Amino acid sequence: MKSDRIFTVYSFVNKVWSLLLNMYDAIDEYLDQYDGQHAYDLIKEMISDDEAPNAELAYRFAHACYILSNSRLSKEGERYRLLKEGEY
């Protein structure tokens, strides 16, 4: 019985890890295409308000904010807000 529980927990963790890696791949693809809005939206769904994101997610978020800020050159206030948000 105990080994069944361990296997079940292991399977669950493995599935969650695979899902997370797939999410990172999707974000990276958006960033590679310079599609900051889609990357930003996907990352915002992943970030919890209660805790800081891990370094990999924080890096991707900063990159998405940078891309978005470059598309808003004429809107200085919004550009500044995005860059500050990317600092997290």
- Write a three-state SS string for the chain: CHHHHHHHHHHHHHHHHHHHHHHHHHHHHHHHCCCHHHHHHHHHHHCCCCCCCCHHHHHHHHHHHHHHHHCCCCCHHHHHHHHHHHHC
Q: Where are the domains of the chain?
A: 2-87
Q: Which residue has the higher pLDDT, 15 or 50?
A: 15
pLDDT in tens, 16-73: 677 777 889 999 999 999 999 999 999 998 887 667 778 999 999 999 999 999 999 8
Residues 64-87, mean pLDDT to the nearest whole number: 93
Model confidence at 78, pLDDT cuts 50, 70, 90, reads: very high
Residue-level pLDDT at 7:
61
